[in-house]
Structure 1
Amino acid sequence: MKVWKVTIHFGFIMYFVFMISLLFFGSRGYGGPSMTWLEYVKSSSNFVPFQTIEMYVDALMYGSMSITIPVINLGGNIIMFVPLGIALPFYSRKLAKLGVFSCAILLTLFVIESMQLISRRGSFDIDDFILNYIGGLIGLVIWKFLDWQYRRSTLK
């Protein structure tokens, strides 16, 4: 069991480093230096739920965009946060409860989206927020299943 814990800790550290580099050190900056921060916020933010998701779904349905772009953006935003959904309850059993987990993941996502906006290393998109939350929930379901399997096997 100790090998598994070390592996999980190492995997989470690698995931954390990957996420920080992807979210804050990639080539995702928007707007030039001449753009004021308020102009940047207006041009790079989406506060209307499902607006971006609908745009990608429409593009897929009507073939107006390469399938790669919507799949990477929609699927990637979900998949990126599955590991966090697994790790949070692993590190704290209290976070295995849906209400506590939801508060923790929503706060985490809000901080990430806000930091991207403040640092101009991304945008604040409510649809990213929704998709990331879904990914976290999928991770929680996976963790609950794995935890159930582990407990079931140790009782036998």
Structure 2
Amino acid sequence: MVVSLIRYRHLRNDNKEYLRNRNEYDVKPMELNILSTGRKISNMIFNLSLYQSEMLSVNREAANFLLYFVDEYGEKISDEVRIIADKNTDNEQDRVFNVIFNLKAGKYDNKKAYKLVIYEESGQILPKKIEFAIDIPFATGEYDFFS
């Protein structure tokens, strides 16, 4: 007969060993980073590539992200894209997400800064804001060629 033994060790948050090895014990949600290098948008419909920085593990759990663009006043200027970062593979190419954004019709000033917001829905990670420039020469509403 075989009796399995389970070794359980409880560490408190203020324990010195826990504080030294916090990265080994804490479970954090997955992180999502931008892979596309260009920070200039020149079309109303465009693609971006994002990647999941690590694979699922004991210390990393799946996360749901909401992505959208905002103007300088924080108003949404694009549609929302949802990404579920739950890839469990060593291959980095399999952890890449290609998403398509649609900007709302309107005038965009190429001298103003617009931001991509990467919002993790559980709220455990602070939202990332990545600055972009929008330079669309013939934006919808500026010139009405099709009416």
Q: Which one has a bigger Cα radius of gyration?
A: 2
Between Structure 1 and Structure 2, the one with more strand by share is: 2
Q: TM-score range by the shorter chain?
A: under 0.3
* TM superposition score normalised by structure 2: 0.22
* TM superposition score normalised by structure 1: 0.22
Between Structure 1 and Structure 2, the one with more helix by share is: 1
